[in-house]
Amino acid sequence: MPEALELDAYFERIGYHGSREPTLPVLSGILVAHMSRIPFENLDVLLGRGVRLDLESLQQKLVAARRGGYCFEHATLLAAVLEQLGFDLQRRAARVVLFSPATESPRAHMFLTVTLPAGTFVVDPGFGGFGPRFPVPLETGAGSDNGSPTHWIARDGRRITLRFKRGDETIDGWVSDLDEENHAIDFELGNYFTAMHPQSPFTQLVMMSIVTPSGRASLMNRDFTLHNGSDVTPKQIADRREFRRLLVDHYGFDLPEFDTLRIPAIPEWN
């Protein structure tokens, strides 16, 4: 791991001022702070810039420039932070099964498992509007957020599935095999597919999400949804000017380049 990680700048970015001991409360606090300040977003992919996973580039984009990113960026940066604090973790790859079965889904999602005296936990800061804001115990059915079950792990031998609730519906998010050994090149390959392949949804759609004190603020193309507890407020974004205001108001950054961005899923804006 490079030695250029700037912990103080990262913690200032996420607004975390607590303990830095490698404990479960610290892990929980860092995770929710990270997801509340660093948005999930794919705008660099749509701008054709590609996505770099080296630590210097991640710090420049997600910390210094106060931008967001997708799973490979979030998980790589958070893994470096946690390792420097002394946490025992593994980088993991998964197949997202929200829209297609595992047999048709590449290993193009990255998450972490963190081992502590209390057990092993799934930490997934980059799953957009579907991700748990708390470390999920790597035990069948053992996940809750403020006492209300939202995400949990279903386990079949070494194969695990992240499941979550949306209303009364139970949804499978991703599947992963804990026996599969993952190396940096595996994440580079998944990142390249996600950012460059014409069949990747990240090259077609605007996707953004951030955790708020009472829920989430999520965007899919022109459809913006503010989740405030059990209240859901939908809104359709009219034009690029309104989109840029939305970036500032809800995601904490502006992006002038958006005015010339080509979005395949919104042909009337192209």
Measured distance CA(114)–CA(122) in Å, rounded: 7
Distance from C-alpha of 21 to C-alpha of 16, rounded to nearest angstrom: 13
Find the catalytic residue in 34, 74, 109, 151.
109
Does the annotation mark 71 as catalytic? yes
What are the helix (H) ranges across the chain? 7-14, 24-37, 43-46, 55-58, 71-85, 184-196, 240-246
Q: Is 168 annotated in the active site?
A: no
Catalytic residue among 34, 124, 151, 250: 124
> How far apart are the C-alpha atoms of 69 and 55, rounded to whole Å?
13
Q: Which residue shows structure tokens 């590449």?
A: 106
Distances (CA, A) of 77 to 57, 124, 224: 10, 12, 27
For tokens 């989109």, what's the residue?
243
- CA dist list (Å): 92 to 42, 71, 111, 187: 21, 11, 5, 9
Q: Tell me if residue 249 is catalytic.
A: no
Closest by CA to 45, choosing from 192, 225, 250, 147, is 192
Number of neighbours of residue 231 by Cβ within 10 angstroms:
9
Q: Do residues 71 and 110 make contact, with C-beta atoms less than 8 angstroms apart? A: yes
Rounded-to-10 torsion of CA 139, 144, 149, 152 = -30
71, 74, 151, 250: the catalytic one is: 71
Structure-block tokens of residue 252: 């904490």
Structure tokens given for 126: 């980059």
Residues annotated as catalytic are: 71, 109, 124
